[in-house]
Amino acid sequence: MKRIHVAAAVLNQTPLDWIGNAARITDALRGARAQGATLVCLPELCISGYGCEDAFLGAGVARRSLAMLQALLPETAGMVVSLGLPLLYRNGLFNCAALAVDGKLVGFVAKHHLAGDGVYYEPRWFKAWPVGARALLEDLGGVPLGDVLFDIGGVRVGFEICEDAWVASRPGAALAALGVDVIMNPSASHFAFDKIDTRRRFVLEGSRAFGASYVYANHLGNDSGRIIWDGGGLIASGGRMLAEGRRFGFEDWSLTSAIVDVEATRMQQARTGSFRPDLVTDDAQTVKVDFAWPEHVPAVPSAKADAWESGPSRKEEEFTRAVTLALFDYMRKSASRGFVVSLSGGADSTAVVALVALMVRRAMRELGSQGFQAKVPYMRGLTAEGAVRSLLLTAYQGGSNSSSVTRDAARVVAQGFGSEHHELEIDTMVSHYVGVVSQALGRPLEWTTDDLALQNIQARVRGPSVWMFANVRGALLLATSNRSEAAVGYSTMDGDTCGGLSPIAGIDKAFLRHWLAWLMREGPEGDGAFAFLNAVVDQRSTPELRPQQAKQVSEGDLMPFAVLDAIERAAIRDKREPADVLAVVAEQFPSISREQLVDYIERFFTLWSRNQWKRERYAPSFHLDDENLDPKTWCRFPILSGGFKVELAELHGRTKAR
């Protein structure tokens, strides 16, 4: 047997935070050494931070990253460590994994396949390294760069860098033919619902098909505003998962480690009848490094995924953990002194308040009061009992069109979660603005002629008060719009869209209501149920902007949210034209007439096209799945367009033909 203690280090880094990033890498390496790990994989671009955006195109980022790498080399003494950074070579910037062995830099592997879809824009900054190309960096003493394999004390180590493992032509196949023993995968893989299953599959299958041990390391937390990294180191060997790190932790770093047997995977490959070793490739691809692996490697505890990962409420748990971690990181990395929410007593604002309160509960439970305080040193005197009140202010802003139902619900929610709560009246401000404009126009504003203006002014006058609360507290105002309403522009710009962050703009209304009902009945692992949420769950969604006798409900203004979401997925996620959307949605809602569905579809496409400018102005939102509408990271659409006039005419034509 030749046993090696390997570890995947998960890091919560921040773009361009040179001091902080170096400190977290140092702490993780020292932690790995204390545990006895010899081979350590750190995440992709961990030195600079993954989300540097166009700052990558400045010379300083690559220069500082290389200097930081060299400063960190002493921390790798006695170990084999990969560290990710951007590297400039022949005027091309490459996404690289540097390999350090026993305090010395021995080479760089450059990424072959650049992620350029969805939230990723790597081809904007980096060049893809050609398969088989190699170079020597004379400025660094002839260190190799490119498509190389490392023979370290008789153990062959290779790389697949993040996207490299997601494509059909994985580098691992060529590495396997060269007799690779350990594949390291430094990654920056964003969170999306159920995505962990895909990661597990390619790690397991890579270890099986390539006859190797596979060490996968990911980022953690909210590094640059929109993307959430869920962490979760993975280690597999010969098709068997040895260790899974926990996800969504609040720590700066964590380690997932296991003992792998190099001889066992070699013989497993030797017993595979279809395996054909590469006996032709020149040994120039292999970099040989002297290194003495420890002879005695004690067993380590096997890390397993948390129980909730395989439970029936995984999506609800993932949503809770992802958004609460992202809120915590956004707060501390922006040095905000908590959050302010305009709490209407409805589902959306209640969900935002619940997420902030759960953020505090989770972080306090995991870090303890002292650990929590250390993360936000600019906030003094935080305790587990009073932290929610210190970090969250809510305000119900009622008017003549508001009901006692929502006022009471807001009060119950604030009391139940423990926020500092205020009730404000807006009628005087609304009347003032209406009076000023009426006088200027020389006529009174009436509901029969000025419905939209009279609705919107109520939403807009609520903005200045909550902004002032945020300014007074040095806190961050959270917008409360959801994805379903963003799709059709069912929001008031500078009203309910006010805020520096829009935490639920990436999730649909139907799921939010389902999630609140789940919180009421069951709740996340470790927190339990919040029965008082029945005050919100039992309501019908209403903006309460028209007079109460109008009995305004959101679905009456738009369409049933379940139908809206189905149309949105078919039209925007799947890029179908209106007539094809009708065919898809009609199968899902057989009880709704085709004429009514045509009306809904026409309304959706018209409102979608008309309201792109609103989506462009939304505050940053968190990415949660492949149905995101964020135009800056996922779903680009022209602000000005033809509005699908021809396509909608075809929809009506096909319907008449039937």
Per the structure, how many domains does the chain have? 3
- If asked whether residues 485 and 616 sit together in one domain, one would say no
User: Strand, coil or helix: what is 99?
Assistant: strand
Please choose, from the candidates 441, 249, 412, the residue with its C-alpha nearest in 3D space to the C-alpha of residue 343. Answer: 412
Q: 511 with 460, same domain?
A: yes
535 and 478 belong to one structural domain: yes
Pair 202, 166 in one domain: yes
Residue 284 has pLDDT above 90, yes or no: no
Residue 117 sits in the same domain as residue 178: yes
**Domain containing 29: what range?**
3-305
pLDDT band at residue 530 using 50, 70 and 90 as cut-offs? very high
Contact present, 362 and 323 (Cβ < 8 Å): no
Q: pLDDT tier at 248 (50, 70, 90 boundaries)?
A: very high
What are the φ/ψ torsions at residue 546 (nearest 5 degrees)? Answer: -95, 165
Whether residues 543 and 566 fall in one domain? no
2-20 per-position pLDDT tens digit = 999 999 999 999 999 999 9
What Å distances lie between residue 376 and 10, 158, 332, 365, 472, CA to CA? Answer: 21, 39, 6, 16, 18
Q: Are residues 135 and 266 in the same domain?
A: yes
Domain boundary among 253, 280, 305: 305
DSSP string, 169-229: S-HHHHHHHTT-SEEEEE---B--TTHHHHHHHHHHHHHHHTTSEEEEE-BEE-SSSS--E
Whether 250 and 386 map to the same domain: the answer is no
Q: Looking at the structure, do residues 435 and 509 belong to the same domain, yes or no?
A: yes
Least confident residue range of 64-68, 123-127, 411-415, 543-547: 543-547
- Give the CATH number of the domain where residue 122 resides: 3.60.110.10
Query: Is residue 371's pLDDT more than 70?
Result: yes
Phi, psi values for residue 223, rounded to 5°: -90, -30
- Supply the pLDDT for residue 658: 58
Task: Give the CATH number for residue 652.
Answer: 3.40.50.620
Same domain, 262 and 322: no
Average pLDDT, the chain: 96
DSSP per residue, 422-439 = EEEE-HHHHHHHHHHHHH
287 and 191 within one domain: yes
β-pair type (149-152, 213-217): unpaired
Using CA atoms, how far residue 411 sits from 408, 417, 475, 516, 534, in Å, is 5, 10, 21, 17, 13
CA angle at 407 for the pair 406 and 413, rounded to the nearest 5°: 80
Residue 540 sits in the same domain as residue 441: yes
Two tokens, residue 558 = 């738009």
Q: Please state the length of the chain.
A: 658
Mean pLDDT of 282-309: 90
Element (H, E) at 161: none
pLDDT tens per residue across span 481-503: 999 999 999 999 999 999 999 99
Distance CA(204)–CA(603), nearest Å, equals: 46
Domain boundary (552, 580, 611) is at 552
CA distance 23 to 496: 40
Name, in order, each residue with C-beta under 8 angstroms of 383's C-beta and a sequence gap of 6 or more.
369
User: What integer is the mean pLDDT of 474-485?
Assistant: 96
Per-residue pLDDT, 656? 64
At residue 84, the 3 state secondary structure works out as strand
pLDDT band at 516 (very low <50, low <70, confident <90, very high): very high
The gap from C-alpha 459 to its chain's centroid, in whole angstroms, comes to 29
Condensed to tens digits (0 to 9), the pLDDT of residues 383-425 reads 999 999 999 999 999 999 999 999 999 999 999 999 999 999 9
Q: Which of 305, 339, 369 is the last residue of a domain?
A: 305
Q: Looking at the predicted structure, is the pLDDT value of residue 301 above 90?
A: no
Q: What is the pTM of this model?
A: 0.96
